[in-house]
Structure formats: C-alpha cells, structure tokens
C-alpha cells in the first residue's frame, strides 16, 4: 500500500484557461488532468478568491471551527503537476475572443485555445435604501463568514454591556437563508428571518409545508416574518441597524445578512459578447459549449439550453462533460434531478419531482398532522393515477418510497400515499424498497426475496423476514404478495431475464452462446444480478467443461464458487476435500490433520462422510489445497450447486448382511458425477441391503442393493422439507443403473428451476413420476441418447478445480487478502479459542438486525 | 508455512472496454489518495479488497460498463469484511453488489441497502490516474 503525490510533465500543445476556481472549476481541472493521459492540455486557472477551491456546500461548517483548511478541496493546489498554473487572487477582467486572450487583474495577457468559464454566481442584494451600510453581509465565501463573525462578536460584547440580547436579521427565507440563520444562532445571536413570499423555502415547499416548517423553525428560537419585504435599513448611532419591513414592523438589529437568491457571475461573458440568458447565465448547448465554439461554461454560471442549476452535482457533471469534449469525446449533459432532502436546524424537509404541481391539470393531495408537526403532499396527474412529485416536512421517512413512485402509476387511491395507512395499498405495484411491515421495517423487496428463495406460506415469511411478527397489521399485504408471486414466480428468472432457467438452458444448448454478456445482450436486459449470474454460470458449467473461473465466467460465480470454498459467517472459508463414498487413506487423514494444525483450522466430520476444515482465510486457500492435492485429494465441491457426496454403508465386503458392494458402487458413482453443476446441490446414497444404513432414500439419488442387482430411488431429500425418494426402477444391473442415473440427472439439470431440488421438481413435473419413468426408462421423448452424450462429455471433461487454479498463475493471483497488500491478514478476522471449540469472533456487529 | 501465491501476475491483455470512469465523484473535502492497483488488474464485474490506513478496508469494483466504484468492505449485517467478494449487477439500472453472506443488495453508487432504508455502506471517492486506481479518504 502506498500513497503518492500526483506528478506529471510531458509535451503539451494546447492551453485551456479556466476562469473561476470554485467547486466546479476545480472539478474540471481534476477531470481533465486525470483523463488527459497524453498531457495534451496545459491549464491556467484564474481565481478571484485568494483561497484555492474549497467546499462551498459545507460553508456553514466553517462556523465554530473557523478552520479554512478543513474545507479545502482535495488536490486544490495541484502540487507537483507542472501542467497546471493556478493563479490565486487573480481575476479575469476581459476576454478578447478574436485574439483568444484573457487579460487578468494582474495585468497579464493569457492566450487560450479553449476557455472555460466557471465563475459561479454571487448573492443578489436587493436595492433597498441602506443595503450597503456597515453591518450588512452576504453569505457565500469564507471571507463573508469571517466578516459576519467579527461583527457578531462585537455585537455580543456591546449587547452584553447594554444588558440586552444581540440579534441578527437574515433577508430571505430560502434554503441558504435558513442556513445563515442557523449560523447566526451558533454565533450567539437571536436570528430573525424575513421572507417576502408567504412561506419559508418558497422554492422547495408550498404554503402548507411552509406553515408546518415555520412552526418547527420558530420553536427553535428563530423569529420568522413571512409575507414581508425589507423596505429600508438605516444605521443608528449605537452601531445598530434599524430595519423597516413592508408590513410596518420595525426592528433593531446588530447585523443583516442578505440571502435573497443568487445571480450568475456572467459579467466577463457579457462584455465579451457571449449569449446570455434572460435571467442571466451564459447560454450553452448540451455539450456546455457557449455561442463561441472555443468557450465553454460550467457550474452555476452556465445556462444549459437556457436552464441554470444552483446545485453542485449538476455542475460536476458539466465539468466532466467539458473535460471529455476537450479530449475529443462526445459527452452531453443529461439533465439533473433537483429533488432534495435535507435536515435544516434538525427539521426534515424533502421535495421531489413536480413538487409545486406545475404540470397542467395536476392534483394535490395533502395530509397535515398538527400535533406531530408533519406535512405531506403528493402531486398526481389529472387522472389521479400517476405520481408526479411531492413535499414532506417534519418527517421525510417516506421520501425514498415516494420518490421511487414518481412517473409511475399509483395503485388505488392516491391519497393513501400520504395517509398513515399508505403501506396497506396495492402491494403489487409498490416499488421493491417500499416498507410493508413498518414495525420491523421489512420491505417488499425482502418479502419477495424470501418468496423467491422458497418461503411459501405466511409462517415461512414471518420466520425469515420478521414481517408481521409485531402488530400483524401488514399480514394481509404479505398474503397478497404471496398470492401474486405464484404467477410471477413461474417464469421470469429475475428482472434481467424473462425466461425461466429451463428456457435459458435450452437457449444456451441450441444457440451455442457461451458467454453471459452474449446471452444478456440477445435475450435479457441490464447488466445482471446475484440471481441470474450464478444461474447462467451454472448452465454454462453444466454444458461444457470449461473451468468455472475461466474468462468472463469468473465474474458470474457466487462467492463460494469464486473461491472454491464455503464462506462462513466471518468471511473465512471452510475447505472440504472429496472422500468418495466416505473412503480415506491413512496418509490423507494425517495430512488433513497436519494442515488443520498448521493453519489453525477447526475440524468437523460432516453428515456426508467427509471432513470439513473451518477458518481458512482467502490467501491461505491455495497453500492448503496444494498440501491436499499432493496426497491425491481434490475439491469436494462442497461450495457448489453440484454433486456433493455419495454416502455409503460398508456393504458386502465387510457387513455380514450385505448383498452388493455398496462402497465400490458409491465410489464409482461419485467419480462419475463429481463436478456436475446443477440447479441445486445433489446428494446420493448407496446401501448394501434393504436395511438401508446409508439412508439412501433421503437422497436425490438412492441406490439400494437387492439380491438381483440395484433398486433406483429418486427425488428424496432431508433438510427443511424432508421427502422420501421414490422407486424409479428395480433390480438393475450396474450398467443400466448408471445409464438411468445419467439420464435422470441430465434431464433434471436441463429442466429444473433455479434452486429447485429434485423433490419439488418432480412435484411440478407434468405427469409426475410416471412421466419421469417413461422419459428415463423408456425414452418416451427420444432424448435419451442426447442426455447420455451430454453426461459422457461431462465425465470426459472433468478436472479438479483446485488443481486447475494451482496450475494457473492468473487465477491464483486472485487469492489475496488485499489487492494492495496481498499477504496482509485481514485484521477483522479473529477467533475465540477459550471455549470447548474454536469459534469466529465478529466485529462487535451486527449493528443491524438480520432480516434474511 | 509455505507461501506459494500472491506475486502479482501480469493479467491477460484486458478486453476492449469503454472508457474507465470513477463512478463515485469525490465529494468535497481534502483527501488522501491510497493506491489500490492498476485498472488492468481488475476483472470486470468482480471486486477486490483494498487495505486502507488505520485498518479500514474498501471493496473496489470495476463493472463491465467501465464504471469503478468503492464502498466499505465491511458487511453491516454480518459484521464481516466480505463485500468485495459479492456479486455485482444492477437493479433497475442502479449498479449493485450483493453481500456474499446473506445476499442483501447495496447500491454501488450511494452505498444504500436497497431493501433497507436504515442501512448503508460508506462510499469512497475513486479516481484513475495513469492507469492506477486510487481510493480517496477524507483527511483526518
Ligand atoms: C451556504 C451555501 C450552501 C450550499 N449548499 C448546497 C447544498 O447543500 N447542495 C448543493 O448542491 N449546493 C449547495 N450550494 C451551492 C453550491 O455551493 C454551488 O452550486 C457551487 O459552489 C457552484 O460551483 P461553481 O464552481 O459553479 O461556483 P462557485 O463555487 O461560486 O465558484 C466560482 C468562483 O469563481 C470566482 N470568479 C467569479 N468571477 C471571476 C473572474 N472574473 N475571474 C476569476 N474568478 C472569478 C468566484 O470568486 C468563485 O470563487 C450551497 C451554496 C452556499 C453558499
Ligand atoms: S445397509 Fe445392509 S449392507 Fe449396508 S451396512 Fe446396513 S446392513 Fe450392512
């Protein structure tokens, strides 16, 4: 791990002059410098302020700490970058577009090939008499705040001596005005806010929201005067200011801060003859290019297609657009979301979409709770169906959910969206992040996720999501989701593929598409997710013998498949070597013991007749595998949706009851089907006689010896919903047994749903066991040869996944703890060995309730 | 104990991909840039863990779209540093990573847990300079 200063020097051919070193100007320089890898541009930055670019959004945090360096933007002096010439305290006075030069306040003339205007905006000071008196301030720069501080401290001293309270008046009750009022409060003044409009924050909230906001703000000690203009300001003998409001109110105040909106700082552009907008601002196209093709405008000074943006994020986007353009790119400004959610003086305020109902015919629905001090409004289209926007004051917790609805149809009565019972409505149309169970904060997404994972009744959903376990009020909605999902679930794999797993399998098999991206491009949408990626990875693995970490496939595998080990609760892995049929040599057993000792692993014998080694860190895995591979062991694929174990009893070689060699058969079967990727895990059991000591009927494939051969049972499992395997065929010889199992497994792999084990697959199969028997034993579909050939290819192509990684330096290089400190053990991994067994210690977390 | 891995290996020639772009814009504030690895070391769609000063760790992702994101590596549900090993993807276009432990899905852009408004992962600024990915930390 290392940190480096930025350095560069090379030949450059062109010069870009940036006027203004605010947040956006700085962002532009950074974007250009980090992308201009050939160093084709030299940059000259002219900054009127003596301070290099700082965090203006966080300006209010300067109050109290008074530490300028805390607000400095990263890399704002470009130390070590020879291609950036930053001139602080230097204003651009004049631009000559014909000569392509800028004249600075220092008297220099700087030539440019491209000029970027990033001059931002300045506070608007209404021309009331006395607006330039001593004691009047604006709120935009660090210097402004220093001025306010000095005046405030003097005022407090004076007021103290006179035995009164010091106060300050803010002209303008918008977002910034309220921030300024808070700053005055922090400085020890009693703030007054005068707002010309009939409400506070007139741009963000409406009258009703403003009224609630005013109540909340007033209760914090801010004196609010709405619906009043400032008529005059007059300096008094005692250094105070007498302010008269248009409603006749007269106030004596120690200082005044103007926060009545901003105006684009477009003076330089105007005198240079560039096109400016009606309300100011340099007009640009979507590429942020002005009426002169060599001049660009970004940030608050720009009026992109005539529209100005008073937020920093759109400015950053513009900076990126121009940097891209200067390097020959084609980027355009995509517009910006002006939704806001903020806490002002501790009060939640949010507005989103068409909050002011400016859409023709728009309807507003309001819910006010005077006792709680909350206000909620939604704006819907004229047919009351589509949500257009809204405002929340006092409690903005519904912001995320409602914003998710904007532009969508509202289910049922739109008024319910702001009523306290809103969550009861139209569950099917709700966005995934909508909270269904508010007692336990369970979202629709979590509930649907649980259903998709197999929760099929209320009890199961309660169990795995906690939804409905407190007041139970949401249970009807949960039930509806359950009913609805029955339909949805039958097909689409996820939001990226409309097809079911079986359909995708057919597509892969028939088209020969071998990549996820190829499949997605032709048959899906988006970029995939944690559901479709492993599913497709599994299909690709079932249909070829490429290594699961080959090429693009590596990015599809679930963490377990990606690291070829089972992830445990603290992020370490467990390692399970294969022990076919439960057989292991003494040498192997010794090695396992030594590995466990050397790496400090916890050892446990599994239910599948093998040994699990717990607590290995990612970077230890290859070394552990190497030791196991060296004594002839291989991956047991305990991590995969694939064949796990073939459990066997001792059988005829040792058992006095045994009628067939169950161990031999188990070992053969495990060798044949190891590595087969499937919709879910597959387990086998082989018993040497009808006493069934291997519990084969609790497995997906159960083989039980008879005195004439083998009985084949299929589709059983233990686990949450145990199912006994059903008899498929009796008294088979070895060869027929294997042939039938080949067909059965491949048929299942082709047609089952994602994460569907064999028992539910059989339940869902049309025609049930009879149909399955016809397909497997009588080849009723005429696909038996196909299925057998596919299995033959699998057997042929099998390769130990561990060994393949050990032999491949590129794959091996991914087994590191940290990309920048490959051998450093993860400091968060710890174990407790004081008890009867070694256990992982988590990080004082979970801090949040598990809902899965 | 033998160590047989961990020498950085030159990866195969990177597949053609669009402009690599840091997906999380550096928020305002001074920061320290910690070198992670060359862009060419990242596998599109997959993450790596990056050790940060003072024992913190980030999960760094390159998406097939060319966007690069960094969020905190610590899974807030599980209390384990595993996010870098999650699967990436998108939900209605929002780039995501799913925890490999319990599959909660987080936005890579904002760090927010998409099914749980209360929870989110811290995000880090990312930049690519001269082919090297760096992660930005606010200065103390
Ligand atoms: C208190 C406050 C709180 C805010 N809160 C938020 C918020 O929460 N969220 C949000 O998105 N936005 C917020 N903003 C707005 C945000 O700060 C601006 O959108 C952003 O700073 C605009 O960046 P800019 O680079 O375009 O302009 P500025 O940051 O204004 O920078 C322009 C720079 O150019 C200089 N300049 C002007 N003319 C010349 C010239 N002729 N020669 C040389 N230099 C010149 C100026 O002195 C200035 O330094 C807030 C603003 C303030 C004041
Ligand atoms: S199943 Fe039969 S052969 Fe196998 S151990 Fe039990 S009794 Fe012996």
Question: How many angstroms separate the CA atoms of A198 and B34, rounded?
Answer: 50
* B65 contacts in chain A (CB < 8 Å): 527
Look at the alpha carbons of A589, A591, A597, A600 in this order and tell me if their dihedral is positive or negative: negative
Among the atoms of ligand 1, which is closest to the Cα of residue A141? 53
Q: Which value, in Å, is the radius of gyration of the alpha carbons in chain B?
A: 15
Smallest CA separation from ligand 1 atom 12, residue? A311
Question: Do B30 and A6 lie within an 8 Å CB cutoff?
Answer: no
* A526 contacts in chain B (CB < 8 Å): 89-90, 92-93
Distance A224 CA to ligand 1 centre (A): 27
Question: How many angstroms separate the CA atoms of A642 and A534, rounded?
Answer: 12
> How close B123 comes to chain A (CA, Å)?
16
DSSP symbol at A57: T
The tokens for A317 are 């986007």
Q: What percent of chain A has pLDDT over 90?
A: 42
pLDDT, tens digit, 9 for 90 and up, residues B15-26: 333 345 555 555
- For residue A624, give the 3-state DSSP assignment: helix
Total Cβ atoms within 10 A of residue A380:
26
B11 confidence band (pLDDT: 50, 70, 90): very low
* A8 contacts in chain B (CB < 8 Å): 130
Question: Do A34 and B32 lie within an 8 Å CB cutoff?
Answer: no
Question: Do B43 and A555 lie within an 8 Å CB cutoff?
Answer: yes
Q: Please give the CATH architecture assigned to the domain spanning A136-260.
A: 3-Layer(bba) Sandwich (3.50)
B84 confidence band (pLDDT: 50, 70, 90): very high
Q: Which of B81, B103, B105 sits opposite A571 (nearest CB)?
A: B81
CA distances from residue A10 to A4, A25, A709 in whole angstroms, order as listed: 19, 23, 81
For A645-688, give the secondary structure using H, E and C: EEEECCHHHCCCCCCCCHHHHHHHHHHHHCCCECCCCEEEEEEC
First CA to last CA distance, chain B: 38
Q: Note the pLDDT of residue A39.
A: 87
* A534 contacts in chain B (CB < 8 Å): 87
Q: Please give the CATH architecture assigned to the domain spanning A340-417.
A: 2-Layer Sandwich (3.30)
Q: Note the pLDDT of residue A395.
A: 79
Taking a C-beta distance cutoff of 8 angstroms, is the pair A825, B1 a contact? no
A14: left (phi over 0), alpha (psi -120 to 50) or beta: beta
Look at the alpha carbons of A98, A104, A109, A114 in this order and tell me if their dihedral is positive or negative: negative
Question: How many angstroms separate the CA atoms of A552 and A537, rounded?
Answer: 10
* B2 contacts in chain A (CB < 8 Å): 623, 626
CA distances from residue A716 to A68, A253, B53 in whole angstroms, order as listed: 70, 84, 52
Q: Which residues 565-604 of A have a C-beta within 8 angstroms of B?
A: 567, 569-571, 598-599
Question: How many angstroms separate the CA atoms of A625 and A620, rounded?
Answer: 9
- Considering only alpha carbons, which residue of chain B is nearest residue A562? B85
CA distances from residue A352 to A23, A340, A799 in whole angstroms, order as listed: 25, 6, 56
**Residue of A819, A839, A851 for testing the chain B interface, max B β-carbons within 10 Å:** A819
Q: Which of A443, A560, A623 sits opposite B3 (nearest CB)?
A: A623
Look at the alpha carbons of A206, A212, A213, A218 in this order and tell me if their dihedral is positive or negative: positive
- How many whole angstroms from its chain centre is CA A844? 24
Query: A534: exposed, middle or buried (C-beta count within 10 Å: 0-12, 13-18, 19+)?
Result: buried
Query: What are the φ/ψ torsions at residue A397 (nearest 5 degrees)?
Result: -65, -25
Q: Does the C-beta of A662 come closer than 6 Å to ligand 2?
A: yes
Q: What percent of chain A has pLDDT over 70?
A: 88
Q: Note the pLDDT of residue A391.
A: 85
CA distances from residue A543 to A67, A537, A797, B2 in whole angstroms, order as listed: 63, 10, 11, 37
B105/A contact by beta carbon, under 8 A? yes
B109/A contact by beta carbon, under 8 A? no
Question: How many angstroms separate the CA atoms of A443 and B39, rounded?
Answer: 37
> How close B69 comes to chain A (CA, Å)?
15
Query: What are the φ/ψ torsions at residue A178 (nearest 5 degrees)?
Result: -70, -35
B39/A contact by beta carbon, under 8 A? no
pLDDT, tens digit, 9 for 90 and up, residues B34-72: 999 988 888 888 899 999 988 889 999 988 877 888 999
B107/A contact by beta carbon, under 8 A? no
Q: Where are the domains of chain A?
A: 5-121+264-326, 136-260, 340-417, 435-484, 566-801
Question: How many angstroms separate the CA atoms of A229 and A172, rounded?
Answer: 9
CA distances from residue A270 to A91, A97, A253, A275, A297 in whole angstroms, order as listed: 15, 12, 37, 7, 13
Q: Where are the domains of chain B?
A: 22-138
Question: Do B28 and A809 lie within an 8 Å CB cutoff?
Answer: no
Does pLDDT of A850 surpass 50?
no
Taking a C-beta distance cutoff of 8 angstroms, is the pair A360, A189 a contact? no
Does pLDDT of A435 surpass 80?
no
Question: How many angstroms separate the CA atoms of A757 and A750, rounded?
Answer: 13
Taking a C-beta distance cutoff of 8 angstroms, is the pair A529, A496 a contact? yes
Question: Do A828 and B74 lie within an 8 Å CB cutoff?
Answer: yes
A334: left (phi over 0), alpha (psi -120 to 50) or beta: alpha
The tokens for A557 are 């595998």
From A120, A137, A266, A267, mutation site for ligand 1 pocket: most ligand atoms within 8 A of C-beta: A120
Q: Please give the CATH architecture assigned to the domain spanning A435-484.
A: Orthogonal Bundle (1.10)
Weakest-pLDDT range from A190-199, A202-211, A292-301, A581-590: A202-211
**Residue of A521, A526, A530 for testing the chain B interface, max B β-carbons within 10 Å:** A530
Q: Does the C-beta of A795 come closer than 6 Å to ligand 1?
A: no
Q: Note the pLDDT of residue B23.
A: 56
A254 confidence band (pLDDT: 50, 70, 90): very high
Q: Note the pLDDT of residue A272.
A: 95
CA distances from residue A212 to A344, A364, A371, A412, A614 in whole angstroms, order as listed: 13, 17, 10, 28, 58
Distance A709 CA to ligand 2 centre (A): 15
Taking a C-beta distance cutoff of 8 angstroms, is the pair A211, A137 a contact? no
Smallest CA separation from ligand 1 atom 15, residue? A311
Structural class in CATH, domain B22-138: mainly beta
Q: Which residues 252-311 of A have a C-beta within 8 angstroms of B?
A: none
- Considering only alpha carbons, which residue of chain A is nearest residue B61? A555
Question: How many angstroms separate the CA atoms of A255 and B135, rounded?
Answer: 44
Total Cβ atoms within 10 A of residue A499:
17
Q: Does domain A566-801 have CATH number 3.20.20.70?
A: no
Nearest listed ligand to the Cα of residue A23: 1
DSSP symbol at A276: B
Question: How many angstroms separate the CA atoms of A449 and A714, rounded?
Answer: 29
Q: Which residue has the tokens 């507003």?
A: A364
* B45 contacts in chain A (CB < 8 Å): 528, 533, 552, 555-556
B140/A contact by beta carbon, under 8 A? no
The tokens for A47 are 């900054």
pLDDT, tens digit, 9 for 90 and up, residues A483-501: 766 534 446 788 888 888 8
Query: A626: exposed, middle or buried (C-beta count within 10 Å: 0-12, 13-18, 19+)?
Result: middle
B104/A contact by beta carbon, under 8 A? yes
The CA-based angle A316-A318-A319, given to 5 degrees, is: 65
Distance A695 CA to ligand 2 centre (A): 10
Does pLDDT of A658 surpass 50?
yes
* B110 contacts in chain A (CB < 8 Å): none
The CA-based angle A449-B119-B114, given to 5 degrees, is: 40
CA distances from residue A579 to A366, A368, A626, A628, A667 in whole angstroms, order as listed: 67, 68, 16, 12, 9
Q: Does the C-beta of A657 come closer than 6 Å to ligand 2?
A: yes
Question: Do A526 and B93 lie within an 8 Å CB cutoff?
Answer: yes
pTM: predicted TM-score of the whole model, two decimal places: 0.50
Is ipTM over 0.90? no
Same-fold call for A5-121+264-326 versus A435-484? no
Pairing mode of beta strands B123-129, B132-138: antiparallel
Taking a C-beta distance cutoff of 8 angstroms, is the pair A431, A483 a contact? no
Does pLDDT of A647 surpass 90?
yes
Taking a C-beta distance cutoff of 8 angstroms, is the pair A633, A577 a contact? yes
Taking a C-beta distance cutoff of 8 angstroms, is the pair A264, A178 a contact? no
pLDDT, tens digit, 9 for 90 and up, residues B98-134: 999 888 899 998 899 988 878 889 988 888 777 788 8
Question: How many angstroms separate the CA atoms of A149 and A136, rounded?
Answer: 12
Question: Do A567 and B105 lie within an 8 Å CB cutoff?
Answer: no
A388 vs A169 pLDDT, higher one: A169
CA distances from residue A314 to A56, A301, A732, A809 in whole angstroms, order as listed: 15, 12, 73, 44
A150 vs A311 pLDDT, higher one: A150
- For residue A138, give the 3-state DSSP assignment: strand
Nearest listed ligand to the Cα of residue A702: 2
Question: How many angstroms separate the CA atoms of A52 and A60, rounded?
Answer: 18
- How many whole angstroms from its chain centre is CA A846? 19
Does pLDDT of A337 surpass 80?
no
First CA to last CA distance, chain A: 36
A446/B contact by beta carbon, under 8 A? yes
The tokens for A336 are 């910006």
Going by C-alpha positions, the residue among B33, B77, B40 that lies closest to residue B58 is B33
Q: Which of B4, B51, B87 sits opposite A530 (nearest CB)?
A: B87
Instruction: Give the number of beta-carbon pairs within 8 Å between A and B.
Output: 254
Check whether the bond before A462 is cis (ω within 30° of 0). no
The tokens for A1 are 């791990």
Q: Which value, in Å, is the radius of gyration of the alpha carbons in chain A?
A: 36
Q: Which of A441, A552, A845 sits opposite B118 (nearest CB)?
A: A441
Taking a C-beta distance cutoff of 8 angstroms, is the pair A429, A437 a contact? no
Distance A120 CA to ligand 1 centre (A): 5
A824 confidence band (pLDDT: 50, 70, 90): confident
From A693, A696, A703, mutation site for ligand 2 pocket: most ligand atoms within 8 A of C-beta: A693
pLDDT, tens digit, 9 for 90 and up, residues A371-427: 777 888 888 888 878 888 888 887 776 665 676 677 777 766 777 777 654 433 345
* A73 contacts in chain B (CB < 8 Å): 28-30
A144 confidence band (pLDDT: 50, 70, 90): very high
Average pLDDT for chain A = 85
Among the atoms of ligand 2, which is closest to the Cα of residue A651? 3
Q: Does the C-beta of A179 come closer than 6 Å to ligand 1?
A: yes
CATH topology of domain A5-121+264-326: FAD/NAD(P)-binding domain (3.50.50)
């Amino acid at each position: 791990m290392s940190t480096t200063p930025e350095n560069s020097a090379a030949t450059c051919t062109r010069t870009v002059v940036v006027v203004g070193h605010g947040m956006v100007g700085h962002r532009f320089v950074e974007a250009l410098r980090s992308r201009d890898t050939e160093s084709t541009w030299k940059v000259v930055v002219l900054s009127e302020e003596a301070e290099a670019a700082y965090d203006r959004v966080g300006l209010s945090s300067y109050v109290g700490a008074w530490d300028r360096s805390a607000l400095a933007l990263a890399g704002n002096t470009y130390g070590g970058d020879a291609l950036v010439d930053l001139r602080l305290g230097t204003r651009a006075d004049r631009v000559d577009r014909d000569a392509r030069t800028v004249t600075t306040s220092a008297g220099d003339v700087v030539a440019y090939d491209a000029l970027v205007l990033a001059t931002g905006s300045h506070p608007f000071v209404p021309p009331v008499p006395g607006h330039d008196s001593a004691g009047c301030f604006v709120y935009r720069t660090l210097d402004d705040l220093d001025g306010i501080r000095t005046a405030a401290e003097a005022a407090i001293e004076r007021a103290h001596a006179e035995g009164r309270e010091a106060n300050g008046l803010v002209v303008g009750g918008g977002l910034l005005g309220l921030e300024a009022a808070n700053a005055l409060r922090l400085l020890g003044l009693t703030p007054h806010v005068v707002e010309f409009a009939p409400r506070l924050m007139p741009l963000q909230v409406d009258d009703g929201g403003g009224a609630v906001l005013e109540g909340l703000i007033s209760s914090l000690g801010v004196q609010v005067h709405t619906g009043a203009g400032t008529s005059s300001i007059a300096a008094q003998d005692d250094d105070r200011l007498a302010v008269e409001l248009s409603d006749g109110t007269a106030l004596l105040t120690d200082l005044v801060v103007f926060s009545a909106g901003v105006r684009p700082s477009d003076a330089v552009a105007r005198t240079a003859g560039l096109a400016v907008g009606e309300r100011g601002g340099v007009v640009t196209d979507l590429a942020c290019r002005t009426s002169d093709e060599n001049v660009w405008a970004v940030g608050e000074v720009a009026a992109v297609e005539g529209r100005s943006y008073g937020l920093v994020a759109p400015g950053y986007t513009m900076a990126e657009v121009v940097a891209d353009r200067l390097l020959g790119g084609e980027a355009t400004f995509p517009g910006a979301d002006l939704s806001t959610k903020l806490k002002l003086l501790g009060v939640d305020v949010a507005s989103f979409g068409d909050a002011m109902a400016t859409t023709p015919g728009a309807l507003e629905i309001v819910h006010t709770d005077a006792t709680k001090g909350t206000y909620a409004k939604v704006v819907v289209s004229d047919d009351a169906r589509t949500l257009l926007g809204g405002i929340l004051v006092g409690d903005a917790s519904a912001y995320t959910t409602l914003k998710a609805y904007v532009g969508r149809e509202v289910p049922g009565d739109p008024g319910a969206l702001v009523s306290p019972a809103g969550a009861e409505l139209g569950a099917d149309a709700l966005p995934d992040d909508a909270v269904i169970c508010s007692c336990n904060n369970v979202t629709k997404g979590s509930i649907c996720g649980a259903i998709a994972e197999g929760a099929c009744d209320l009890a199961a959903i309660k169990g795995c999501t906690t939804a409905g376990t407190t007041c139970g009020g949401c249970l009807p909605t949960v039930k509806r989701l359950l009913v609805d999902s029955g339909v949805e679930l039958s097909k689409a794999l996820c939001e990226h593929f409309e097809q079911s797993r079986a359909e995708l399998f057919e597509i892969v098999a028939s088209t020969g598409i071998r990549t996820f991206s190829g499949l997605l491009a032709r048959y899906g949408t988006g970029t995939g997710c944690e559901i479709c990626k492993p599913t497709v990875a599994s299909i690709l693995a079932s249909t070829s013998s490429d290594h699961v970490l080959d090429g693009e496939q590596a990015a599809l595998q679930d963490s377990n498949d990606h690291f070829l080990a089972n992830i445990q609760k603290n992020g370490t892995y467990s390692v399970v070597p294969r022990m076919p049929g439960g057989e292991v040599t003494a040498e192997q057993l010794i090695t396992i013991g030594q590995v466990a000792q050397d790496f400090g692993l916890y050892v446990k014998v599994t239910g599948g007749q093998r040994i699990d080694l717990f607590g290995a860190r990612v970077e230890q895995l290859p070394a552990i595998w190497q030791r196991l591979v060296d004594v002839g062991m291989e991956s047991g694929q305990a991590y995969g949706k694939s064949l796990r174990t073939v459990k066997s009893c001792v059988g005829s070689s040792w058992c006095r009851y045994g009628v067939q060699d169950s161990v031999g058969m188990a070992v053969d079967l495990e060798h044949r089907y190891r590595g087969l990727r499937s919709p879910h895990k597959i387990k086998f059991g082989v018993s040497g006689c009808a006493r069934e000591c291997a519990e084969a009927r609790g497995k997906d494939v159960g083989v039980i010896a008879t005195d004439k051969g083998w009985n084949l049972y299929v589709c059983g499992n233990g686990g949450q919903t145990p199912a006994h395997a059903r008899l498929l065929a009796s008294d088979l010889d070895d060869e027929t047994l294997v042939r039938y199992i080949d067909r059965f497994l491949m048929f299942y792999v082709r047609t089952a749903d994602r994460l569907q084990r064999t028992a539910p697959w059989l339940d869902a199969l049309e025609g049930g066991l009879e149909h399955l028997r016809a397909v497997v034993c009588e080849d009723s579909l005429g696909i038996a040869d196909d299925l057998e050939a596919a299995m033959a290819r699998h057997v042929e192509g099998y390769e130990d996944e561990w060994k393949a990684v050990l032999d491949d330096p590129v794959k091996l290089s991914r087994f590191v703890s940290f990309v920048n400190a490959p051998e450093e053990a993860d400091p968060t991994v710890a174990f407790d060995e004081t008890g009867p067994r070694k256990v992982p210690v988590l990080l004082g977390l979970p801090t949040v309730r598990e809902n899965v | 104990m033998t160590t047989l891995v961990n020498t950085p290996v030159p990866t195969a020639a990177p597949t053609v991909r669009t402009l690599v772009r840091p997906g999380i814009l550096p928020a305002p504030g001074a920061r320290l840039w910690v070198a992670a690895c060359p862009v060419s070391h990242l596998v599109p769609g997959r993450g790596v863990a990056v050790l940060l000063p003072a024992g913190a760790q980030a999960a760094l992702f390159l998406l097939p779209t060319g966007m690069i994101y960094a969020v905190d590596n610590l899974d807030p549900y599980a209390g384990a540093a595993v996010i870098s090993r999650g699967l990436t993807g998108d939900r209605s276009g929002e780039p995501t990573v799913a925890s490999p432990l319990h599959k909660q899905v987080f936005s890579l852009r904002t760090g927010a847990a998409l099914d749980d408004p209360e929870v989110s992962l811290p995000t880090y600024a990312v930049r690519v300079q001269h082919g090297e990915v760096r992660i930005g930390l606010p200065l103390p």
